[in-house]
Amino acid sequence: MTEVTSVRPSSIKNAAVNLPYGGGKGGIRIDPRKYSQGELERVTRRYTTEIGLIIGPEKDIPAPDVNTGPQTMAWMMDTYSMNVGRTATGVVTGKPVSLGGSLGRADATGRGVFVTGAEAMKKLGMPLEGARIAVQGFGNVGEAAARIFHQHGAKIVAIQDVTGTIHSAAGIDPGKALAHLRQTGKITGLEGSEEMQKDDFWSVDCDVLIPAALEKQITLQNADKIRARLVVEGANGPTIPAADDLLAQKGVTVVPDVLANAGGVSVSYFEWVQDFSSFFWTEDEINERLDRIMREAFQSLWDVKEQHGVTLRTAVYIVACTRVLEARACAGCIRKSTREKGRFLDGAALFVGCWGAFRTFDRKRHPPPLFARPSPIKVKGQRQNRSFCQML
Ligand SMILES: NC(=O)c1ccc[n+]([C@@H]2O[C@H](COP(=O)([O-])OP(=O)(O)OC[C@H]3O[C@@H](n4cnc5c(N)ncnc54)[C@H](O)[C@@H]3O)[C@@H](O)[C@H]2O)c1
């Protein structure tokens, strides 16, 4: 059992959609395909006991991610509850509905990908009806995103998962693809689609590309081949920074992961709130609230993007860090001078302020390491400094 080493900017994601959560990640590094259900259950229960001291409904609340799902969260909740001697539904989210889970959680991340993608399409003047979508990853996020886009008239022209890649210019029905995957264990061989080479996925003729599998998928090797006008990042960190710059140069709009896939954590938050009050909302109420959160978050980022001439990725960090700064300033956690600097949205002051807030460093006495220092900030239409995003 090894702790997962990578920590993601989940705080930024939560701040971007205004949720009162922080961020962090942990897990077990195993390939679940090689284990039986019984073994997975024992591993999960042991892991939950090991981390039992640091999690809790008012401390840290795990939620599912790659290769985990409602069953895993049910085992976690049950184990934690046994250990503390009471039913603690709020200790994890993404549980089955029968154990205090929320309606709408299963589709929430994919739904958020759809809502933010559709909002971006509106801004770019791209019609949803008939839009050609390519999806990498056909799991919790990718399948739901593909299905919801399909339900709204878009055409899924390519799907790639760990078992292969399929393409159909006429469009793939995600429902049939899922049934085929369940029946045969692979995505390839679906009637009406042809199999493609793995690397050819990136050059598929499409309008929207949704990487919804793993991190670091869009690289300098394939970014140049991408023909989509819009990339909606369903996965966490699917685009390496250099490829992100290349996409920006090519005029491709990227809806960044911390916004695009925030639907999952939003409904996790709803689940936690419902568990506390033991009062459960209908699926329509959940979806309506989720859609509103995602649409409003998208609009506020778009406004900042337009106002400062930055990419949506930089905009999301500006918005989220300003919120975090604001909260930390109110709590008295940052010095006044830093706090005032943090109020400026238009340049180095923000970056200095954010550095101060996150690291509580006195920049003069303890300058940040060279790699993390922002290079001169350039405005409108020029390449944006990325060191800020990378240092978080
Ligand atoms: N599940 C959530 O609520 C949620 C929320 C936010 C972000 N995410 C992120 O979304 C991404 C997908 O998560 P998920 O929950 O859908 O996981 P999942 O395990 O349900 O699905 C992962 C999918 O990726 C495919 N895949 C794996 N390796 C691949 C490869 N090398 N090439 C192509 N496809 C490959 C798998 O076949 C599967 O279809 C991850 O980056 C995750 O961190 C998930």
Query: With a threshold of 0.85, does the pTM exceed it?
Result: no
Residues 92 and 353: their CA atoms lie apart, in Å, by 33
Portion of the chain with pLDDT greater than 90, in percent:
76
Cα 140 to averaged position of ligand 1 atoms, centre (Å): 7
Atom 18, ligand 1: which residue's CA is nearest? Answer: 139
Residues 256 and 9: their CA atoms lie apart, in Å, by 12
**Contact of 186 with 175, CB cutoff 8 Å:** no
How sure is the predictor about 24, in pLDDT bands with cuts at 50, 70 and 90? confident
How sure is the predictor about 337, in pLDDT bands with cuts at 50, 70 and 90? low
- pLDDT at res. 22: 83
* Domain residue limits, the chain: 25-59+68-99, 108-260, 294-389
Two domains, one topology: 25-59+68-99 and 108-260: yes
How sure is the predictor about 340, in pLDDT bands with cuts at 50, 70 and 90? low
Pick the CATH number of 25-59+68-99 from 3.10.20.30, 3.40.50.10860, 3.40.50.720, 3.40.50.300: 3.40.50.10860
Is 366's pLDDT higher than 70?
no
How sure is the predictor about 5, in pLDDT bands with cuts at 50, 70 and 90? very low
In order of 16, 123, 298, the CA distances from 379 in angstroms are 22, 22, 21
> Which mutation among 40, 65, 198 tests ligand 1's pocket best, with the greatest number of atoms within 8 A of CB?
65
- pLDDT at res. 65: 85
Is 183's pLDDT higher than 80?
yes
Cα 134 to averaged position of ligand 1 atoms, centre (Å): 15
Pick the CATH number of 108-260 from 3.60.15.10, 3.40.1410.10, 3.40.50.150, 3.40.50.720: 3.40.50.720
Is 172's pLDDT higher than 60?
yes
Cα 359 to averaged position of ligand 1 atoms, centre (Å): 31
Torsion over CA: 199, 254, 16, 156 (sign): negative
Atom 13, ligand 1: which residue's CA is nearest? Answer: 66
Q: Which residues are annotated as a binding site?
A: 13, 109, 140, 268
Ligand 1 atom with the smallest distance to the CA of 257 is: 7
Ligand 1 atom with the smallest distance to the CA of 165 is: 33
- pLDDT at res. 328: 86
Residues 240 and 13: their CA atoms lie apart, in Å, by 18
> Which mutation among 8, 109, 143, 269 tests ligand 1's pocket best, with the greatest number of atoms within 8 A of CB?
109
- pLDDT at res. 48: 97
How sure is the predictor about 373, in pLDDT bands with cuts at 50, 70 and 90? very low
**What residues pair up with 161 in beta bridges, in sequence order?**
164
